[in-house]
Amino acid sequence: MSPTHDVIVIGLGGMGSAAAHHLAARGARVLGLEKFGPVHRHGSSHGGSRVTRQSYFEDPAYVPLLLRAYELYAELERSTGRRIATLCGGVMLGRPESRTVAGSLRSARTWDLPHEMLDAREVRRRFPTLTPAPDEIALYEARAGFLRPENTVAAQLQLATQGGADLHFQEPVTRWEALPGGRGVRVHTPEDAYTAGQLVICPGAWAPALLSDLGVAFTVERQIMHWFEPTGGTGPYVPERHPVYIWEDTGGVQIYGFPAIDGPGGGAKVAFFRRGTGCTPETVDRTVHEDEVQAMARQAARLLPSLPGRHLTSVTCMYTNTPDEHFVLARHPAHPESVTVACGFSGHGFKFVPVVGEILADLALTGRTGHPVELFAPGRLRTTATSPVPSAPGGVR
C-alpha cells in the first residue's frame, strides 16, 4: 500500500511548525502530529520573547544561518501580518576576555557585521538602565532585538494549513519505525497508525524518549523566566530606550533580558542562562519558588538597579542540551533514507526557527541542503556521549 503522506512531522512547536510550513509550501503532502494544542506552553517555544542577534558568541559558524533566518522572519511577517521581530538593538556585556564579549566580537569581525564597542561610561550614557562595572565593556549591535515565539509558531501553523498540511493536535506519538528496505516510515498514535515516505522529528524536550537510538546524551533542564515591574515604572525600559542584553559577570554567570513589552505580567523580562536543574517533561516542577525569584532579583540588580522593583510573574520552560551545546540537525544516521531529526537546541535555538524549517524541508525532500550544517551532525557526539559537558560557549534563548 502506498504511503498516505509524503512527510510526517512529529512535534509542532517552533521547529516542527517551521518544517510543516516549508514542506507544505513546496507541495508536499504533510501530516503534523502534536502532543498538545497549538501554540502551547508545555515545551520551549513560549514566554513572550526570545533574543535574536547576529554577533554570535557561540561560534561564527552560526552567522550565515542567522542572516538567512532574519530574511525568513521578515517574510513570515509579510505573509501573515503578525508582529514577530523587533530590532531594538542589543548589548553583549562583560569583561573584554569574557566569552560573551570576546565571542561576539569574533563573529562580528569574521563576518564583517556592523557593531560598536562601548566602554562602561558610554553604555551608561546611552542606556541609563544599565550600570556595568568600570572594567566591563559591551558590543552593541543595532540589528539585535527580540522575537515573539507564540506569534512565530502561530504564523507557521497558519501558513502550513494554508499550504494543505493536515495538522493533528492532542495526538501524541507513542512510537515510530522505519520500514524495511527504505520504504518509508510508520508512526503510531493512540488514534491511528500513519505511513509516509519521510519522517521529520522535532521532539524538543521529548528527544531522549523519541530518539533514544540516536546515540546522543541529551539532558533536559528546567529554566525560569521572570518579569519585574521596575522601580519608577517601565518608561526607561520601553524598546525605544532599552536594548536586549546579555551580561556575563566575573564568575562566568550570564543573565539576559528584554525591554518591557506586552508579554506575561506586562513588565521587563529577565532570566539566568544555564543555571537550570535537571528534569524530564513529566517531572518538571512548574511552580516557581520564592528563593528562585530572589536569586534572580539579586543578580539582575547588579546590572540594572531599578529592574527588580516588584516581581510580577515567573514561568518555567525547558532546555534540551547536547554535550557540546550545538544542535543536532541532520538525517538520522541509522535511517538516512527516511528520517530527519532536529533537536538538542541547547537554549539558543529559537532565533534559527525559520531557517531550520527550510533545512528540514531540504533534507526530507532531497536528502541534502545548501546551508552549512556540518557542525550539527550527530556523529560528532556518539563517541563522547558520556563525557562531561565541555566549557565551550553556550548561548541565550
How far CA 358 is from CA of 21, 52, 141, 149, 348, in Å, comes to 9, 18, 26, 17, 18
pLDDT of 140 over the 80 cut: yes
Contact 187, 196 (CB under 8 A): yes
In terms of DSSP H, where are the helices of the chain? 14-25, 63-80, 99-110, 120-126, 149-162, 207-210, 290-303, 353-366, 379-382
Model confidence at 243, pLDDT cuts 50, 70, 90, reads: very high
How far CA 37 is from CA of 40, 188, 200, 286, 324, in Å, comes to 6, 18, 19, 18, 32
Classify burial at 40, counting beta carbons within 10 Å of its beta carbon; exposed 0-12, middle 13-18, buried 19 or more: middle
What pLDDT is stored for residue 395 in this prediction?
A: 33
What pLDDT is stored for residue 274 in this prediction?
A: 84
Model confidence at 382, pLDDT cuts 50, 70, 90, reads: confident
What is the arithmetic mean of pLDDT over 232-252?
Answer: 96
CA distance 29 to 27: 7
**C-alpha grid cell for residue 28?**
508536499
pLDDT tens digits for range 27-68: 999 999 999 999 999 999 999 999 999 999 999 999 999 999
pLDDT tens digits for range 339-377: 999 999 999 999 999 999 999 999 999 999 999 999 999
pLDDT of 2 over the 60 cut: no
**What pTM was estimated for this model as a whole?**
0.94
What is the arithmetic mean of pLDDT over 6-33?
Answer: 98
pLDDT tens digits for range 244-272: 999 999 999 999 999 999 765 679 999 99
pLDDT tens digits for range 285-310: 999 999 999 999 999 999 999 999 99
